[in-house]
């Protein structure tokens, strides 16, 4: 999960990490929507048992204050769902 507005953890670093995982897991660049929460996509045609999920998000406020270095409220559920999907 990565917010493009996050100044503490640059979006470009997250993209680099995602691209490395795609190469390592031998994934195509094709995606399908993943989950019912957020804006996540699952890269398809990956090596067996090596899924890559990418979740950019734009929620930048918490308690009414601007703070883009946060995780959306639904992050825990998405992470749980990901691990539950693994065999």
Distance CA 36, CA 15 (A): 22
Distance CA 62, CA 65 (A): 5
Strand 52-54 and strand 65-66: the pairing is unpaired
Which tens digits make up the pLDDT trace of 26-76? 999 999 999 888 889 999 889 867 889 998 887 777 777 777 777 777 888
The pLDDT assigned to 29 comes to 92
Using DSSP, state whether 66 is helix, strand or coil. strand
| Residues in CB range of 60: below 8 A, 6 or more apart | 3, 5, 66, 67, 68, 70
Sketch the domain layout of the chain as residue ranges: 11-85
Mean pLDDT, residues 81-85:
88
pTM over cut 0.75: yes
């Amino acid at each position: 999960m990565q917010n493009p507005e996050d100044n503490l953890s640059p979006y470009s670093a997250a993209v680099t990490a995602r691209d490395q995982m795609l190469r390592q897991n031998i994934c195509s660049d094709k995606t399908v929507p993943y989950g019912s929460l957020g804006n996540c996509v699952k890269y398809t045609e990956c090596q067996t048992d090596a899924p890559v999920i990418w979740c950019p998000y734009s929620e930048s406020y918490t308690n009414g204050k601007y703070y883009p270095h946060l995780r959306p409220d639904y992050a825990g559920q998405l992470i749980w769902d990901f691990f539950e999907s693994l065999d």
